[in-house]
Amino acid sequence: MTLLLVIVLLGLTLVFYMIYNAFHDKVSYNMISDKRLPESFNNFHIFFITDIHRRKIDDQTIQSIKDEIDVVVIGGDLTENGVPLKRTQDNIQKLKKWNAPIFFVWGNNDYEGFPVRFTNLLINEGVTILANKEEIIERNQEKIRFVGLDYSLFRPVNFTKFVHRNNELFTILLVHSPQTFEEELTDDEKNMVEFVLAGHTHGGQIRFFNFGPYEKGGLKKVRNTNLLVSEGYGYSLVPLRLETSAECHVITLKSN
């Protein structure tokens, strides 16, 4: 009986700890140094958040960020089926704190529910949808570009249209799933990209002794390209996390 009670208490403790992790925000600060970055974009700051799903963005998390953000990137799964449109609108408005451009790429869950109403909300809130599109930012006559690819299970990846256009520009690729970059782009296309932002996997969300259904999130090199895979801000199915973080990112670009 005592052993059973201990097991039950340990199990409940683990569950409460996993719930805590699912809602305990972490702001990850990442620095990307690349000599290919134009000097005018040295110390350029990107706020990156992905896989919000059902969550409400915590005001304290946003207020804790003291850096001046130049661009906000939403990496998909901003919503999912059953999430009130008003909650999604509130989340977008919280990301307007910095008066910076907001770029969005579609995730698989964004297509659930009422995608037309969701699309209209993004447009009305001034969010730039990068669905197989690019957006160029200029400073002091120097430029970088953000290229967004649609979620490939729903619309075909079409990176080739960008390969011979503005290919001299420092390119930041936005994809919902890292698989889009790692498996669906050719080696030549990968070489056209300096930095990739992705999410989707939640870092596995629930891991045991570092084993999970997906690779843990983080920054890594793929050929000559920096790839940042976020563990995401929200959760899938159940509000539980173990050995992963509910995270968003402040990314500083350096032209060393």
pLDDT of res. 223:
86
Q: What percent of the chain has pLDDT over 70?
A: 95
Q: Specify the higher pLDDT residue, 5 or 251.
A: 251
Task: Indicate the helix (H) or strand (E) that contains 237.
Answer: none
Residue 147 above 90 pLDDT?
A: yes
The mean per-residue pLDDT over the stretch 119-138 comes to 95
Residue 137 above 60 pLDDT?
A: yes
pLDDT of res. 158:
67
Burial of 207 (0-12, 13-18, 19+ CB in 10 A): middle
For the chain, the structural domain boundaries read 2-254
Tens digits of residue pLDDT in 19-35: 999 999 999 999 999 99
Residue 177 above 70 pLDDT?
A: yes
pLDDT of res. 196:
98
Tens digits of residue pLDDT in 75-108: 999 999 999 999 999 999 999 999 999 999 999 9
Q: pTM for this one?
A: 0.94
Tens digits of residue pLDDT in 39-50: 999 999 999 999
Confidence of residue 199 (pLDDT cuts 50, 70, 90): very high
CATH number assigned to the domain covering 2-254: 3.60.21
Burial of 105 (0-12, 13-18, 19+ CB in 10 A): buried
The mean per-residue pLDDT over the stretch 222-248 comes to 94
pLDDT of res. 189:
87
Look at the alpha carbons of 197, 182, 254, 138 in this order and tell me if their dihedral is positive or negative. negative
User: Largest Cα–Cα distance of the chain, in whole Å?
Assistant: 74
Count H helices and E strands in the chain, helices first.
7, 12
Q: Specify the higher pLDDT residue, 232 or 115.
A: 232
Confidence of residue 163 (pLDDT cuts 50, 70, 90): low
pLDDT of res. 154:
61
92-101, 110-119, 163-172, 216-225 — which is least confidently predicted? Answer: 163-172
Average pLDDT of the chain, as a whole number:
92
Spatial separation of the C-alpha atoms in residues 64 and 96, rounded to whole Å:
15
Confidence of residue 164 (pLDDT cuts 50, 70, 90): low
